[in-house]
Amino acid sequence: MQIDPQEYLDLVEQTGKLIFVDIESTGLKGDYNTVLVVSIKPYGKKPFSFSVPKVSRDYKVVRDAKDALEMAGAWVTYYGKGFDIPMLNTRLLRHGLNPIEKRPHLDMYFTLKSNILTGRKSQSHLLSWLGTPEQKMSVSADTWADMSASFERNMPIMIRRCESDVAGLEALYRKTRHLVREITR
């Protein structure tokens, strides 16, 4: 039996099983880089985060994120199928852990890319263009470059950034949910 995507979203919203997910990492490849923060925002609730105690110590973060993701009924990400979930799975593999069990996964990047025609596809641009109160927090290049050397100072910035991303993602979802025509795993 198949269910209409809009009806499915109604159900997972009502049951509290819809979550918004974002990660911050030291780079783009899981063999050379590590996860810093994973933020999860249950639909309509405040975000929470898992963060490393020190750069490169991401075992507990990826394990805890895996557990949280597997408790959800559906995930919403922005380019999460291309980055966030593969990065987490790469780091889980590195630590000898199983990959995250799949769930229905709504990647707003692909949903919007195929349904609207804008000059830029970034979450930041779309939030700005749509005029949502939630905007993507920018982090300076110096902060990224100085992450290891000034971990204590920079980690709270990364957590705020990641939590602002999931809040913005929920705002983007609310504005464009009507465009969702399919949800895949």
CATH at residue 137:
3.30.420.10
Give the Å distances, CA to CA, from 28 to 48, 92, 156, 170, 178. 23, 15, 21, 23, 31
Does 74 fall in a domain?
Answer: yes
pLDDT in tens, 116-127: 999 999 999 999
Does 185 fall in a domain?
Answer: no
Domain count, the chain: 1
Q: Residue 93: phi, psi to the nearest 5?
A: -60, -45
Does 184 fall in a domain?
Answer: no
Does 183 fall in a domain?
Answer: no
Domain holding 142, by residue range, is 5-178
pLDDT in tens, 14-53: 999 999 999 999 999 999 999 999 999 999 999 999 999 9
Does 145 fall in a domain?
Answer: yes
pLDDT in tens, 129-179: 999 999 999 999 999 999 999 999 999 999 999 999 999 999 999 999 999
Does 44 fall in a domain?
Answer: yes
Does 72 fall in a domain?
Answer: yes
List, in sequence order, every beta strand (DSSP E) within the chain.
18-25, 35-42, 48-51, 74-77, 105-107
Does 109 fall in a domain?
Answer: yes
